[in-house]
Structure 1
C-alpha cells in the first residue's frame, strides 16, 4: 500500500526530525513524513513527489508557500491562539508531539474527508477483557497487557467504562476522545484522520480517551459500539485493539461477539463463581453461546506493589501482574 507523503519544513532541524520520526513510527493514517530545513529543497522535492500535507513555519512568505506543490498547507505557529496568515490553518508548534499530531490530523481530516479517501488495512485482532465480577483487576490487567504488547506491536487501547479513571491516572486533560468518535460514526463522518486526531500516547501505547460523560456510553447501542470498533479494525493501521469492557448489561454480549479472544478475570469465592456461571447461562440463552469458546478465564495476582496514581501505569509493567501478563502472552499462539 502506497503511503501518503507529509512534509515538515522548519529551521529547527532537531524539531523537524524528531516530529517526523514520531509520525513515521505511529503511522496513524499511513502517512510518511519527510523533514526539511530549506524551503527551496522542499519546493524541489514537491516537483517529484505527490505531497498531500505540508507543515511549515509561519514565517515563510506566501510566495514561497505557493511554489510548493501540496494539497494542503498548515502553518506552525509560534504562539497559541494567533493566526498569522488567514489563508492557511495554524497549529501551535511548541506542544507534545502526540498533541501536535492530533491537531494536524484534525485539520487533515476536515480537508480530505469529503474527497473519498479511505485507509484500508488488514483487519485488526480484537482482544476483549471482561468480567461480571467487580474489583478483579480487569482494567489493571488490560493496561498491562496493552503496554506489554505495544513494545512489539501496533496496539490501540479502548476503555468502555462509564468512569474509567484514566484521566486521573495519566494527569491529562483530553480535548477529544471516544465521545467524539461515536458522534462521527453516527454522522457517517468517521475517518482514519479523525481517529488519529483523537489518539493519545502513553509511552509506546496508543489509546483513545474514554467517554467524557457516562451518558455518552449509556446512550450508545451495542450496534453502534460494535460498528465503530469494526470500522477502526478495518480502516486503521493497528494490528491489535484491546477492549476494556465495563458492566454494560446485555450489550457486553453483543460486543464480545466481535472479539477474536476474550480474557475474563475471575476470583475463587463462591459469589464470584456464581456470577460467572450466571453470565455463561445468559450467553447460551441469548444466542451468544459461541462466545464462551473464546473466553479464557484467568486468576490475576493481587500485586503488592501498588504505587501512587501518577506513576501507576509504569509500575504495572514491573509488578507481579506485569510478570503474570508476560508469561500469559508467551503461551498464546
Structure 2
C-alpha cells in the first residue's frame, strides 16, 4: 500500500525542502509529489490519487477539487481568513517537523489507506508490548495478557525477545522454533501459516511461539519480512488476537509497531527509566516515526509490584499467585 502526499506551491524552493525532509524523516509517507500549476496537478489526478494535498493559501480550493484527492490542507503564510474554506490550515514558515506534526494531528495515519489495510476487516487485533527498562516485567505482562485474552478469544502469543525465559519443560522446541520460521518467512514461503502452526506450542488454552534458539536470528528480519508476515496473518490466520512480546528495538520492530492495533509500553517509576523512555520518544520523532508515538498506551509498573516480581522465575508464570499480582495491570485490557 502507498501513502502519497502532494505539495501544490509556486514556491519551488520551499516545496523541495519540505519534500526532502519528508523523504528523510517521514517513513510512513511512501511518495511525495510537487505541483507548480493546476494543469500538472489535474493531469496527475487523471490516473493517480493523493491522500493529502498541501495547498498554498493563494490558490483557491475550487481550482483543485477532484475525486482523487482525499484531503486538502492549506499552507498559510500568515493569517488565513477565507472563512468559506472548509480545510485545515498549517502555518508554512515553521520547521518541517512542526508542519508534519500538525498534518498528522489533522489526518492521523490510522485514517489512511495504510492503516485501513493493516486493520483488515477488524477480525484480528494485533498488540505489541514493549519497554525500555522493564524487560522481565514486560515478558510476564505479555504472557499474562495473552492468557487473559485466550479465555475469551483465539489468541497467539509470540516471543520476540533475544533471550527467551521459556524452559524446555514448558514444551518449547528450540531446534524447530522461531529461528526456523524466520528462514521460511524470509523466503516469503507460500505456506507460511502452515510453517508457523508447526512451531506453535500450547500452554493451557494459549497458543505460543516461544522465541528464537539464537538471539541474533531476530536481526535477520527486515521491515519487508514483518510486512509480509502481518499481511499473511491478516489474510489467513484464524486467530482473533495476536500479542507480540518485543524485546528488541530496530527498524523491523518499528514496522511491527506500525502494523499493530495497539502498542503497550511498560514504564517504571525510576528516574533513569523515565529518561530512557523520553529518549525513546525523541528518537522516534527525530527519525520520522511520529505516527508510532500516537499508538503508545503507557502501562505503569509501581515499585511495589516491581519488587514483588523480582522473586519470581519463568515457571511462576503459570501460578495463580503471579496471576493475582498482575491482574490489576491488565484488567483494563480484558474487555475486548
Range into which the TM-score falls when normalised by the shorter chain: 0.5 to 0.7
Q: How does 1:31-46 map to 2 (within 5 A)?
A: none
Which whole-Å CA distance do the structure 1 matches of 2:121 and 2:200 have between them?
Answer: 18
Partner residue, 2:87: none
Q: Does the C-alpha gap of structure 1 residues 309 and 159 become closer, same or farther in structure 2, counting only changes over 3 Å? A: closer
Which has the higher mean CA deviation after the structures are superposed, 127-136 or 285-294?
Answer: 127-136
Answer yes or no: is 1:130 the counterpart of 2:130. yes
Equivalent residue, structure 2, for 1:140: 140
- What is the deviation of 1:286? 1.6
Pick closer, same or farther for the CA change 1:243–1:292 going to 2, 3 Å.
same
| Residue equivalent to 2:14 | none
Distance in 2, matches of 1:275 and 1:169, equals 35
Report the RMSD for the aligned CA atoms in angstroms.
Answer: 2.6
Give the alignment's TM-score, normalised by structure 1.
0.57
In the aligned structure 1, how far is the partner of 2:256 from the partner of 2:133? 17
**What TM-score, normalized by structure 2, do the two folds share?**
0.57
In 1, the alpha carbon distance for the partners of 2:224 and 2:273 equals 29
Q: How many residues align?
A: 212
**How far apart are 1:140 and its partner, in Å?**
0.7
1:320 aligns with 2:325: yes
What residue in structure 2 maps to residue 304 of structure 1? Answer: 308
**SS at structure 2 position matched to 1:137:** helix
**Aligned-partner SS, 1:318:** helix
| 1:273 Cα deviation after fit | 1.1
Q: Does the alignment pair 1:180 with 2:185?
A: no
For 1:191-270, list aligned pairs within 5 A.
191-270=192-271
Deviation digits for residues 222-272 of structure 1 (CA, Å, limit 9, x no counterpart): 332343233223311011110111132344323211111111000122211
- In structure 1, runs of 5+ residues without a counterpart are 1-119
Instruction: Check 1:158–1:226 CA distance in 2 against 1; reply closer, same or farther (3 A cut).
Output: farther
Shift of 1:163: 1.0
Give the whole-Å Cα distance in 2 for the aligned partners of 1:316 and 1:258.
34
**C-alpha distance 136-177 of structure 1, shift in aligned 2 (>3 A):** closer
8 Å Cα contact 2:127/2:243 also seen in 1:
yes
Q: Which has the larger radius of gyration?
A: 2
1:127 is displaced (CA, Å) by: 0.2
